[in-house]
Amino acid sequence: MIRHTVVFTLKHPQYSLEEKRFLSDAKRILSAIKGVTQFEPLRQVSPKNDYHFGFSMEFADQAAYTRYNEHPDHVAFVRDRWIPEVETFMEIDYVPLTLLV
């Protein structure tokens, strides 16, 4: 399993209609891509960083994650919405640890 996360800040004013549209469209478009599970749009509340939002989603394996990254809907979303509307971001991808006791 891979958990893909991204934290980001939009160029739009907070709580604006543009912000709401971006988040709504992202959820609708990205969560519909085959292989995406557990998609969550999140509002970041910690005072320890300057990001405003996060997305978290899971993939069964690397192949599913690669298909998502290459999917035409994902590519179009990044090109048409993410690049023009996101001010700053950071991605982190996780795999579960198997700890030996």
Reported as a pLDDT band with limits 50, 70 and 90, residue 97 is confident
| All structural domains of the chain with their residue ranges | 2-94
Terminal CA-CA length for the chain: 21
Q: 2-94 has which fold? A: Alpha-Beta Plaits (3.30.70)
Q: Identify which of 7, 3, 11 has the alpha carbon closest to the alpha carbon of residue 48.
A: 7
63, two tokens = 């192949």
Could you report the per-residue pLDDT of 55-86, keeping only the tens digit for each?
A: 999 999 999 999 999 999 999 999 999 999 99
What global pTM score does this model have? 0.89
